[in-house]
Amino acid sequence: MPIERMWAGWRNAYVTDTARVMKAPEEHTLFEAILDSGIPDDETYIVSRGATCFTILNRYPYSSGHLLVLPQRGVADLDDLTADEFTELWATVNTAVRVIKAVYSPDGVNLGLNLGKGAGAGVPDHLHVHVLPRWLGDTNFTVAIAETKVLAEALDVTYERLCTAWPSPTED
């Protein structure tokens, strides 16, 4: 079966940004390089920054609103987190779920961690929690048969909606 292609020209910025970010030292993980790049948050899609963790949009989302919550420090396993990182990570996941529910009114929310390549981790050296809204029927023939996913919202719009709804540090 030939690979089907859908035009998504707005994703070109991802390739350009990634090339710019990846000029960082090799000892950095992809997410550390993004975090420390000096590129403005609205260009890297960093939604929130905490003392030890941050939240960023998934550049290749499964659905609109797909967030990643992760420690600032690149660690591969939950056992590698400090107590403060662990606490902040799960508090931020909780905030992310609340924000996604408020912004998107989904039928449900998926949370997931893929720890290691064998578990499907795309960035195995920096653990991250996927937080994404789900709707009844959001997996349909385009996904199951055509192996194509259609997103109803551009990343810039998603970013603005989530940032607007994200509580300030005093509201957490």
Which is the catalytic residue, given 28, 66, 128, 130? 128
128 is catalytic: yes
Give CA–CA dist 95/82, Å, rounded: 20
Q: Phi and psi dihedrals of 57, rounded to 5?
A: -70, 145
Nearest one of 54, 84, 53 to 163, comparing CA atoms? 54
HSE at residue 50, side-chain half, CA atoms within 13 A, is 27
Alpha helices by DSSP H, listed for 36-136, are: 41-44, 83-104
- Report the distance separating Cα 6 and Cα 138, nearest Å: 18
Residues in the chain: 172
C-alpha to C-alpha distance for 145 and 14, rounded to whole angstroms: 27
As annotated, the active-site residues are: 128
